[in-house]
Every structure is written in C-alpha cells, then in structure tokens.
Amino acid sequence: MKFADIPAHETVKNRLRALVDCDRMPHALLLEGPAGVGKFALARALAQYIHCEHRTPDGDSCGVCPSCRQHATFNHADLVFSFPVLKAVSDLGLSDDVLPQWRDFLTRNPFMNFGEWLKELDNPNGQPLIYSSESGNIMRKFATTSYSTKYKILLMWLPERMQPDCANKLLKMIEEPADDSLLVFVSNNSSEILPTIYSRLQRIEVKRLPDAVVADYMQRHHRLGSEDAAVVAHLAEGSILQAEKLLGVTDESKKFLGCFIDLMRGAYQRKVGPLRKWSVDIAGLGREASMRFLDYCSRMMRENFITNLHHGSLVYLTPDEQAFCKNFSPFINERNVESLLREFNQAKIDIGANGNAKIIFFDLAVKVILLLKR
C-alpha cells in the first residue's frame, strides 16, 4: 500500500512522512477517526514507507523493492499484524491462527469493512476480541531484533477491542519500548481504549472524507454516474466504506426501510401488539445489524426533517425512501426531531452495552408513539 493509493488525507500523509524523514517516529502511534476513511490503509502505507529501500522524491514508497513486494503480499518479516478474532475460530485467540483469512480480507477490503471481517470469520453476529494471549505472542515477536530493516512494526486494528489483560501487558512495551520497535494502533472508537494505553500514545486524528472525494472514488472504482455518486457520497457521511455498503448491501437497506416503515406506522396507529412483535423481530437481527438499523433510523429522521423544511435540494433519499417519506415527513418537525434522534442514539448505546434488545426496542417503540404526536 502506497500513500498515492489512498484518496485525500494529504495533511495526515505529510505529517507521517515528516515523522519518518526526520527520524522522529514515536514508538507508539494512534490513528483515530471514523470507520471507512482509510486509517488502516494509511498505517499500511506508513509501514511500507518506513521499510522501503528506495523512497521516491515525492515522498512515497517505491513499490518495487524487495520490502515493498513483501508488504504487497502481507509477508514482510518485520511487520506484525494484530486484530480481533473469535476463539471459535482460533482456540488460543491469536491473530496468527487466521492470517490466511486476514490476508484475503485486506486484499478485498482496503477500507476495513468490519462486517466483512465477521463473515470471513464465519460468524456475522460474532464479537471478536484481542485476547490476553495475543499480548504474549506480540511480546515474543518483539523480543527478537528486526530481521532486514531498522524497525519491526506492529499494526493493530481496533485496539478498543483489547481485553484489559491484553492492554495491561502491552503497556510495558509502550512505556519501555525497544529501540527497533514501532507500535501503530488504528481505532474507530478511541474513547473505548483503556485510558492508561490511550494517554501514552501519540495521536493523529484522521477526519471524514469530503463528499467530493467519496463521489470521485465511487465514479472511478464503481463506475457510478456523477449524480448517483453524489447521492451515495452524501449518504455515506465521508466514509468510502459506507458508500460501498450503500451499493453492495441493497437487501439490508431494503429490509431496514421495511422495518422503519413498520415502526412508524405502528407508532402512529398506536398498535402496541404489533410493535411488541416488531421489537422481537428487530432484536433477532443480532447486535451489529441492530446497531446499523438504529443508525439508519437516525438518518431517516434527519432526511425527513429536512424534507419537511422544504429544502429538497439537500435531501438524499432512494426512490423507495422518497415514496414513503413524501407523506411521512410532516410528522418529523422542530418539536420532536431532537428527541427522536436522542432516543435512537440511546437505544444504540444500550444495544452496544449488551442490553436486552427486545426490551430496548419495545421501549423505543413506545417512546416513538409519544413523540410522533408532538
């Protein structure tokens, strides 16, 4: 992965280049920001740039030296990957046990689709973690000196999924690093990283991509027309990963729309019985899909509110969504939109904390009944 392969983020790229060129790389670095904007791709490009034997004058790895070729196949001897796994797949909970799946995943998902990683692990509703055993494996690898380059580099994806024991063991590596070791962490939700770890990392924020960058990427890589690309880019909220989901997960999007319509119609008609069944059905989607559905509901609230304000040029809805929202949008207004968004967000937090999904969704449905009448 070269810096040139990653759209936008020129400020971050320049900062990473400068750290390497001036020999000021911190021993422990965190790239933090929303999912799907290219953080792990930047980490991969950084590692390749550090190991490259013939860096280019414009500040990139050459792509052809032995080190670069090894990076291209994820086989560099001085590069260590660590990532969440399932013990059902890896008995010891080690990343090394699923490296073939990981390499396939990286090849197909440069923007790190977590849902696709779950499928790669053959458990779409799984909750992979970075287990305590992983820290011991990492420490053993870094106990030896680098093989062919100046630095041995760890790239850890989603450190927020480290078990506390794992994080506490790695803390010693962060506080007392070896001269030839670099630790690079990539997080989608850095607020969940153990504070003792987070406070000791040098942090670089990677922000959402501009809509124009996402639209251009979708036109070049997915052959979308300019208008369709603009709509997808807006809905994706600065994430190429989300833009690709909007194209590739049409069945899920249609299912979410159907579930959203059932909730709103049931709430408007105050049909408690059907809403109780609805809450059971939604809970059956599983934790990750349930959280994606709640994100979808929040987006629909915002788009309907904008529609109700008669700012059609700012509304980005699919034709099926438009057909429903044409008559529904008057019910989302300045008296209830903030409260509705707050309830959907709280439900997502509760689901993420492993609350009882059936109770959470039924409670949400009852609150929607009350709020729609405002």
Structure tokens at 322: 């438009």
Distance CA 245, CA 11 (A): 27
Residue type, 52: C
Chain position carrying tokens 């990427």: 217
How are beta strands 79-82 and 28-32 bridged, if at all?
A: unpaired
pLDDT in tens, the chain (374 residues): 999 999 999 999 999 999 999 999 999 999 999 999 999 999 999 999 999 999 999 999 999 999 999 999 999 999 999 999 998 777 788 999 999 999 999 998 899 989 889 989 988 778 899 999 999 999 999 998 888 899 999 999 999 999 999 999 999 999 988 899 999 999 999 999 999 999 999 999 999 999 999 999 988 888 778 877 887 888 788 998 888 877 754 567 788 999 999 999 999 999 999 999 999 999 998 888 899 899 999 989 988 998 888 765 566 677 788 889 889 999 999 999 999 999 999 999 999 999 999 999 999 999 999 999 87
Euclidean distance between CA atoms 62 and 360, whole angstroms: 52
CA distance 82 to 306: 43
Q: What is the pLDDT of residue 351?
A: 94
Output the pLDDT for position 326.
87
DSSP state letters, 12-52: HHHHHHHHHHTT---SEEEEE--TTSSHHHHHHHHHHHHH-
Other Cβ atoms closer than 10 A to 123: 14
Half-sphere exposure of 237 (CA within 13 A, CB side): 10
Contact (CB, 8 A) for 255 and 269: no
Angle (deg, nearest 10), helices 240-248 and 226-236? 120
Residue keyed to tokens 């929040």: 298
Rounded-to-5 percentages of helix, strand, coil across the chain: 60, 10, 30
pLDDT of residue 311: 63
pLDDT score of 321: 84
Instruction: Please give the torsion angle defined by the CA atoms of residues 31, 350, 364 and 124, in that order, rounded to the nearest 10 degrees.
Output: 70
Sheet of 181-187, strand order: 79-82, 152-157, 181-187, 28-32, 202-205
Reported pTM: 0.73
Distance CA 124, CA 115 (A): 7
